[in-house]
Amino acid sequence: MPTYTVASRRGLIDQEHRRDVATLLTDLHAEIARAPRYLVQVIFHELEPGALFLAGTEAPEGHVWVRADIRSGRSGARKTALLEQVTAKVAELLGLPPTNVWVYLNEIPGAHMTEYGSPLPEPGREEDWFSALPEEVRARLDRFP
């Protein structure tokens, strides 16, 4: 956790840009939400024409939707900064106007999810959680910057 799901029309975000967006979202989340990078996941969904509608009409091309499921417990200022930075920087990276990047931030208590076989801690308790993981999992996660 967090999980960022990026949806766009098929072909809008090529493989190179996917890596760039994934790195950007990981960097922003680690910096602003102060979560370990090894918890950040990014999933891309490509939608076929006719698969997305706004107000009952097929959505125009050139839009990106980012849904961010994050652990609850961050301040309003951090959440606002995350929303603003994700919107602006994804738009810049993809050459889109910010009005075409829609971001949704959803909070879930850490105790309501598991990763690596263990319920997640509240923000700020990651070191204790990490220390309680099995040694082989810690070794795998230590490889992430």
Q: What is the mean pLDDT of residues 106-134?
A: 88
Quick check: pTM over 0.75? yes
CATH H-level superfamily of 3-141: Macrophage Migration Inhibitory Factor (3.30.429.10)
Give the model confidence (pLDDT) of 34-53 as tens digits: 988 988 999 999 999 999 88
45's CB contacts (< 8 A; 6+ apart) are 5, 6, 7, 8
Domain boundaries, the chain: 3-141
Summarised one tens digit per residue, pLDDT across range 54-88 is 899 998 889 999 999 999 989 999 999 999 999 99
**Percent of the chain with pLDDT strictly greater than 90:** 67
